[in-house]
Chains A and B, each alone.
Chain A
C-alpha cells in the first residue's frame, strides 16, 4: 500500500512535466477490434458470438480549453465472428465524445449511433441503435495518437441483448 502511494506521489508531478495541451484537428486511427454479443429472444432461445478484426476511425477534435475537448467521430470495422453465428460482419459508429485531459492523456465518454451489418452464407442483416462508451488514450504533440475504446451498443433486435465492443487504435492527428 505504501509502495503504491509512493508511486502515485512520485509519478503525478513527473507526469505534469510532460503536459501539452490537446489540439484541434482531424484524426485518423486504426487497429484491432473485437465484439462480444449475446442475444436472448422472447421464446427463450439465445445466440452468443464473438468477432474480431480491424477497425478504423476518423474524427474531428474541437478543444474547449487545456482540460476539455469535444470529439465527433466515425468508426468502421471489418470482423469475422465465431460461436453461434459464423459470419463476416461490419460494425459502424457515429459518436460524440467529451474528453477530459491530463496533459497528453485523456479519458473520454461518448454517445453514439451504432450499426452492425452481418452477412453469412444464407442471409444478410443490418441492425442499428444507440449506445455509449468510454475511451482512454494519448495524443502526442507531434501528432501520434493512440487510444483504447470500450463500447456498449444497445441494438433493438432482441429483448435481452448484451453487446460489448473493444477497439485499440494507433493513428495520427493533423493539427
Chain B
C-alpha cells in the first residue's frame, strides 16, 4: 500500500504531463482557436501572457483595429428600436382583499398562451464600461415601453399556478413604460453582433380590464362578481428582462408585474414570458 502511495504522485504527474503534451500543440490560447478572432481581419491580437510577452511595436495598432471590428457591433445598437415578435406567456391576475374583505382573493390565470410581442426602446446610454477580451461590459439606462393584451379565464382553485375553467374571465390590455437599468455584455464573437443583456425597470402602466370572478376561489355555487377598471387606470409597473440578442433577433425571458386599482378593488397582474422577436432600429 505504501508503495502504491509513493507511486501515485508519479503516476498523476505522468498522466498530467501526457495530457499536457497532447494538449499543448492543439491548445493555443483562445485567440488561436480555428475560427476565432485572430483569423478575422483586424481581430484582436493574443492577450499578453507570461510565456509570450508582447513587445511588437505594431501591437497598439492591431489592438485598435481589433477593437474597431467589435465596436461596429456596438455602434449598430445605437438608436431607437421596435421589437416585434411572439412568445409563450403566463399571466395571473389577483385581487387581494376583494371588495375590502381580508382573506378573499380571487385569482385568475390563463394557464399559458401564445402572445404577441410589441416593444419600444429608446437609445441606450452607458455610464460605465469594463473591457473584455472581446468587447465590453456596459452598464447603462434607457426607456422601454410595451403593449400587451390581458386575457385570463382560468380561476385558481386548489393549485397556486394552474387554474380551471369555471366560467369566469377578465379581459383587457395595458400600455406600460419604464426607465430601466441594464448590463449589456458582448459581442460574443468579434464579427457577430451577439449580446447578452439583463435589465430591470420601474415605471407605470395604463390598464383597462373588465370581467367576472368568483370571490372565493373554487366556490362555484356563489354568484360571480364583476370587476371593471371603469376606463383606463394608472398602475405601477415593474419589468425584468433576460435577453440574448443575435444580430437583429432577440430571445427574451421577461417578467412583468403590475399593480393598481380596478374600481374599488386592488389588483396585481404577474406575467412571465419567453419570446422571440425581430428588432428594427431607426
* A binding-site residues for B, Cβ under 8 Å: 3, 6-7, 10-11, 14-15, 17-26, 60-66, 70, 72, 94, 96, 104, 113, 123-128, 140-142, 157, 174-175
Given A24-B188, A62-B135, A113-B242, A128 contacting B33 (CB threshold 8 A)? no
* B binding-site residues for A, Cβ under 8 Å: 5-6, 8-10, 12-13, 16-17, 19-20, 23-24, 26-31, 33-37, 47, 49, 90, 130, 132-135, 137, 159-162, 185-186, 188-189, 194, 196, 198, 242, 244, 253, 272
Assess the B196–A60 pair: CB atoms within 8 A. Answer: yes
Closest to B189 in A: A24
Closest to A112 in B: B242
**CA–CA, A62 to B30, complex, Å?**
12
Assess the B29–A14 pair: CB atoms within 8 A. Answer: no
Instruction: Give the shortest distance, in Å, between A75 (CB) and chain B (any CB).
Output: 12
Give the contacting residue for A125; candidates B8, B162, B188; CB below 8 A: B162
Instruction: Give the shortest distance, in Å, between B160 (CB) and chain A (any CB).
Output: 7
**CA–CA, A114 to B12, complex, Å?**
39
Assess the A94–B253 pair: CB atoms within 8 A. Answer: yes
Given A24-B188, A60-B244, A104 contacting B29 (CB threshold 8 A)? no
* Cβ contacts under 8 Å, B9 to chain A: 3, 6-7, 10-11
Query: Which one of B6, B20, B33 has the highest number of Cβ atoms from chain A below 10 Å of its Cβ?
Result: B33
Assess the B27–A140 pair: CB atoms within 8 A. Answer: yes
Assess the A63–B27 pair: CB atoms within 8 A. Answer: no
Instruction: Give the shortest distance, in Å, between A58 (CB) and chain B (any CB).
Output: 9
Q: Which 8 pairs between the two chains have the least Cβ-Cβ distance? A: A23-B30, A17-B20, A14-B16, A18-B20, A20-B27, A141-B27, A175-B33, A63-B133
**CA–CA, A119 to B244, complex, Å?**
29
Given A7-B12, A18-B23, A62 contacting B186 (CB threshold 8 A)? yes
* Cβ contacts under 8 Å, A25 to chain B: 188-189
Closest to A2 in B: B5
**CA–CA, A65 to B131, complex, Å?**
9
Given A123-B159, A126-B162, A62 contacting B33 (CB threshold 8 A)? no
Closest to A26 in B: B188
Closest to B51 in A: A19
Closest to A11 in B: B12
Assess the A17–B17 pair: CB atoms within 8 A. Answer: yes
Closest to A157 in B: B160
Assess the B132–A64 pair: CB atoms within 8 A. Answer: yes
Given A18-B27, A70-B137, A65 contacting B47 (CB threshold 8 A)? yes
**CA–CA, A72 to B160, complex, Å?**
29
* Cβ contacts under 8 Å, A66 to chain B: 29, 47, 49
**CA–CA, A107 to B5, complex, Å?**
28
